[in-house]
Amino acid sequence: MVDDKVFMKEALKQAKKAYEKNEIPIGAVLVKDGKIISRGRNSVIEKNDMTSHAEINALRKAGKKLENYRLPGLTLYTTLEPCSMCAGAIIESRIERIVIGALDPKRGAIISNLELTKSTVSNTDIAVTTGVMEKECLEIIQEFFRGLRERKKK
């Protein structure tokens, strides 16, 4: 579990970068053999792109770097439970494992609302770990929305 924390901290750094850019603070990193292959953060507003979620950005970068559209053996660390779109990309990527910080009761598609990676749409068996640095991952999002509400009041 020590290693999981190390990489979740890196995903949180990406979430902080998103926060600084006024994007919902979600970050992700992809790891293979104990090394970070790619990093991603939410950038939907900056890029005017609804697919520019942290997980998809990290998956895209890893694919380019490894010159492969399949990413066997990789572990995705993400600060928030992936949505249905990202869960779909995760299934296509054939990664080995997902490590989630906080669950997303509204839109989560790995555990909370749907279990897409365990369903018949998935033809690979992807291991899932949850609750790694859950408090920190949740706090940054709560802080972000608190800030938004306060700005709206003014």
Residues catalogued as catalytic: 55
Q: Give least dist CB 78 to Zn ion, A.
A: 9
Rule CB under 5 A: say whether 58 interacts with Zn ion.
no
Rule CB under 5 A: say whether 86 interacts with Zn ion.
yes
Residue closest to Zn ion, measured at CB: 86
Q: How far is CA 111 from CA 59, 98, 103, in A?
A: 20, 11, 8
Q: Give least dist CB 154 to Zn ion, A.
A: 30
69 is in an annotated binding site: no
Residues near 51 by beta carbon (within 8 Å), at least 6 away in sequence: 44, 85
Pick from 83, 111, 116, 126: which binds Zn ion (CB under 5 A)? Answer: 83
The smaller minimum CB distance to Zn ion, of residues 26 and 37, is found at: 26
How many chain residues are in contact with Zn ion, going by CB under 5 A? 3
Pick from 7, 8, 31, 53: which binds Zn ion (CB under 5 A)? Answer: 53
Number of neighbouring beta carbons within 10 Å of residue 110: 25
Residues near 88 by beta carbon (within 8 Å), at least 6 away in sequence: 116, 121
Please answer whether residues 109 and 83 qualify as being in contact, where contact means their C-beta atoms are separated by less than 8 angstroms.
yes
The smaller minimum CB distance to Zn ion, of residues 39 and 53, is found at: 53
The token pair that represents 28 in the structure block? 């992700």
Binding mask 3-22 for Zn ion (x = CB under 5 A): --------------------
Rule CB under 5 A: say whether 41 interacts with Zn ion.
no
Q: How far is CA 7 from CA 66, 75, 89, 113, in A?
A: 19, 10, 21, 26
Give the binding site for Zn ion (CB under 5 A).
Answer: 53, 83, 86
